[in-house]
A and B are shown apart, each in its own frame.
Chain A
Amino acid sequence: MIFLLPHLVLFCAFMLFPVVGSFLLSFTQWDLIGDIEWVGSSHYVALLNDAVFVEVFWNTIYFTVVSVPIGICLSLVLAVALNQKIRGIKFYRVAYFLPVISSMVAVAVIWQWIYNPEYGLFNFLLSVVGIDGPNWLSSETWAMPAIILTSIWKGIGFNMLIFLAGLQGIPDNYYEAADLDGASMVQKFLHVTLPLLAPTTFFVTIMSVINSFQVFDTVYLMTGGGPGRSSSVIVHYLYQNAFEYFKMGYASAMAYVLFFLVFIFTIIQFWRHKKKSVY
């Protein structure tokens, strides 16, 4: 118990107190300096009528719905590919994991460069195959997909690593048995690998969904939420309200809406997982 204490004190000071505090703040109006004024649930009502919040809410859903499935599929494919016994396998694993530990600021700067409509690498590659690329980051249509692509690239190594661990936990004898039954590569993947990987997939999905709902740095650094509001997300709008307009209460209310959103999504996934997981 004593050894837990330092951690407990820090936990209370930096987690419990702020979490409870911001919940209470979400019912008040406060600009950091002046008096705290109780306003009841009016922030929550205001959120529903705030067109900008509705827009960033849907942007967040858009980001999550697109980036999570694609990110998971790609990282699974990569994990399977990197689970072979080939030469230099460690090098490839490191290479794919590198973006995860790179600084987001550096990544954002490089990708802004890649997306440059005039001199960027991306539009150059597209022009090779005859496509006239858009102005990625300054187009209302393309800013979000561009951010999603960068996020997937940045995060793919982490999910890959977890999948890799999951794959290595699958005993070889299942594959040997499948071989004896004359199963093809695809059949083995669909009927052995995927089902046995279900707990890992579940974990990766939950983590990805939670992370996607909280996306901020990529947006903040690459587009600042623009053009217009087209790439702004809940946490970005929350940040603006809290630290640019100093509306702490309103921002806290937003944080709790986000919290319940994540909560509900996670519950749904747990419930689905429970229903079908038998392995």
Chain B
Amino acid sequence: MRRPIVMFLVMVLCMSLLAGCLNRSTEQTAMNHDPNDDKVTLTFMGWEASPLETESVQRGLDNFMQDHPHIDVVYTPVPNEQYHSKLLTMMAGSTAPDVFFIGSEQYRDFQSRDVLMNLTELFGQDFSLDDFIPSSQDIMTIDDQIYGISSTTVSPVLFYNKDIFDAADVPYPPHDPQDAWTWAEFVDVAQQLTFTEGSQTEQYGVYGLEAFYMHVGLILSNGGQVWDDQKNIVLNSPASQDVLTAIKALREEHGVSPEARYLENVGMNAAQMLQTGKIAMMVDGSWALQELAQMGFPVGVAPLPKFGGQATTHGQAHLNAAWSETEHPEEAWALIKYLSSESYQLDLIREGLWMPNRTNMYTQEWIDQWHNPDVHPEGFVAMTSFFKDSKPFPFALNDKAAINDIITEELDKFFYGQQSVEDTLQAIEQRGQAELGK
């Protein structure tokens, strides 16, 4: 008879313990705003693109806290891979950070779930949309409203190892996007810089174009599009076909390129392959300059070759946003404003990781402030319009993450399987439209 009573008591104890835990978390949030010293604790979450970025964030936050003595910012860096799952899970559990990075590809997806604070009004008081470069403007604006502020911009560019060009007596790629190589010129150089010994290729001309992120600029350059005005997927066009076929031919026909997929994870990354002369040119995000500049070989940067029309790249970067349920909207805005300021970008631009997202920062006056001869190779200034005029990254204009995966998946079947280019583009269109209709 006594047993059930004891059990009941223990149950009650456990329950009250559990309840205590739950209560404490609400108390803690309440305690964040202590009336005595009026200090507000803001939680802030981001990911680490490089150790330098984390350092710089921390340094920036210290400055921010000095200027805003009543705000205490607690920063949590989270690995990029699980970042957005974690963020949404935290939102669902009502424990989300007040301010956070949000990837440009996830920005619209998150906004459609109504979890981002609407910043339109506050933004209007302190910023002008026209000050931002066009790609940043397009990405930030959702139906004329703003829910996140562009932090910076990064774009795919062509990196090259000057030593390899010198040894083969081949002139460097032109820096001004107006004079960019045509595709034929580019293939010709890649062929001149490819050396084989027996059946082994000792040095490849170029690496990296097989990822959608890297080659979609060429499709845009050729007059192709990913979305039409009604947000239908219109990637299936002769313009895309030509570009995809030409890129696959680099490896399969001309033998001037190794496979883009997976090699990066394997011991030697792309930067090291460029350094050690396994590849002469590499298409990669502009952020790679920070690492390449420290690797002790003469690195060069140039615009991507043009395909058809004008040499074109795309731009995007994470946005700074606040949680719609934050208890400190004013302080959150102060932090976002700081993180989105021109002065905050400067350090990271000087290190080669970022590029400015403000039009005026491409004027000589500002270039003098951020241009760093130790990092930015000769001719870099001549190509800055390539970043300024970049198109918005197509995946950043889409609110269905599944479509991005469909495109990657079908392109894989084309590049590494037997699927024809026609079937690939058709499958993307069909599966993409079906997903859009869901």
Chain A residues engaging chain B, CB cutoff 8 angstroms = 1-2, 5-6, 9, 31-34, 109, 112-113, 116-120, 135, 137-140, 223, 226-230, 240, 243-246
Whether a CB of chain A sits under 8 angstroms from the CB of B10 is yes
Is B412 a contact of A116 with CB atoms below 8 Å?
A: no
The contact string, 1 if C-beta is below 8 Å from chain A, for chain B 1-16, is 0010011001100100
- In order of increasing CB-CB distance, the 3 nearest A-B pairs are A227-B412, A32-B92, A227-B416
Is B258 a contact of A140 with CB atoms below 8 Å?
A: no
Contact-size category for B: 35 or more
Q: How far is the CA of A131 from the CA of B103 in the complex (A)?
A: 44
CB neighbors of A among B379-401 (8 A) = 400-401
Which chain A residue lies CB-closest to B258? A118
The contact string, 1 if C-beta is below 8 Å from chain A, for chain B 88-126, is 110110000000000000000000011100000000000
Is B3 a contact of A31 with CB atoms below 8 Å?
A: no
Q: How far is the CA of A1 from the CA of B9 in the complex (A)?
A: 13
Q: How far is the CA of A245 from the CA of B438 in the complex (A)?
A: 12
Is A32 a contact of B266 with CB atoms below 8 Å?
A: no
Q: A5-B7, A9-B14, A240-B405 are in contact. Are A140 and B263 (CB under 8 A)?
A: no
Q: A2-B10, A228-B412 are in contact. Are A31 and B265 (CB under 8 A)?
A: no
Which chain A residue lies CB-closest to B11? A5
Q: A33-B92, A138-B416, A246-B88 are in contact. Are A1 and B3 (CB under 8 A)?
A: yes
Whether a CB of chain A sits under 8 angstroms from the CB of B417 is yes
Contact residue among A6, A112, A228, A240 (Cβ-Cβ distance under 8 Å from B262): A112
The contact string, 1 if C-beta is below 8 Å from chain A, for chain B 231-274, is 00000000000000000000000000011011101111000000
Is B114 a contact of A112 with CB atoms below 8 Å?
A: no
Say whether chain A's binding surface is mostly helix, strand, loop, or mixed.
loop
Q: A119-B267, A244-B85 are in contact. Are A33 and B413 (CB under 8 A)?
A: no
Whether a CB of chain A sits under 8 angstroms from the CB of B410 is yes
Whether a CB of chain A sits under 8 angstroms from the CB of B409 is yes
> What are 8 sample pairs from A and B whose C-beta atoms fall under 8 A apart?
A2-B10, A32-B92, A33-B88, A116-B266, A140-B413, A140-B417, A227-B416, A228-B419
Contact residue among B89, B259, B265 (Cβ-Cβ distance under 8 Å from A109): B265
Contact residue among B3, B412, B418 (Cβ-Cβ distance under 8 Å from A226): B412
Contact residue among A113, A140, A246 (Cβ-Cβ distance under 8 Å from B416): A140
Q: How far is the CA of A139 from the CA of B259 in the complex (A)?
A: 11
Which chain A residue lies CB-closest to B403? A245
Q: How far is the CA of A118 from the CA of B113 in the complex (A)?
A: 45
Q: A5-B14, A245-B402 are in contact. Are A227 and B417 (CB under 8 A)?
A: yes
Across the interface, which residues of A come within 8 angstroms of B409, CB to CB?
226, 228-229
Q: A31-B113, A227-B416, A246-B88 are in contact. Are A138 and B410 (CB under 8 A)?
A: no
Is B262 a contact of A138 with CB atoms below 8 Å?
A: yes
Which chain B residue lies CB-closest to A229? B409
Q: How far is the CA of A135 from the CA of B402 in the complex (A)?
A: 27
Which chain B residue lies CB-closest to A226? B412
Across the interface, which residues of B come within 8 angstroms of A113, CB to CB?
266-267
Contact residue among B259, B401, B417 (Cβ-Cβ distance under 8 Å from A228): B417
Contact residue among A9, A118, A230 (Cβ-Cβ distance under 8 Å from B417): A230
Q: A34-B113, A119-B267, A137-B262 are in contact. Are A227 and B91 (CB under 8 A)?
A: no
Whether a CB of chain A sits under 8 angstroms from the CB of B415 is yes
Across the interface, which residues of B come within 8 angstroms of A245, CB to CB?
400-402
Is B85 a contact of A243 with CB atoms below 8 Å?
A: yes
Which chain A residue lies CB-closest to B113? A33
Which chain B residue lies CB-closest to A5? B10
Q: A5-B7, A33-B115 are in contact. Are A119 and B412 (CB under 8 A)?
A: no
Q: Smallest distance from the beta carbon of B263 to chain A beta carbons, Å?
A: 7
Which chain A residue lies CB-closest to B260? A138
Which chain A residue lies CB-closest to B200? A118
Q: How far is the CA of A140 from the CA of B6 in the complex (A)?
A: 61
Contact residue among A2, A32, A227, A244 (Cβ-Cβ distance under 8 Å from B89): A32
Q: Smallest distance from the beta carbon of A172 to chain B beta carbons, Å?
A: 49
The contact string, 1 if C-beta is below 8 Å from chain A, for chain B 131-158, is 0000000000000000000000000000
A2-B7, A33-B91 given; 11 more Cβ-contact pairs under 8 Å = A33-B115, A113-B266, A119-B266, A120-B266, A137-B262, A138-B259, A139-B416, A140-B413, A140-B417, A227-B416, A228-B417
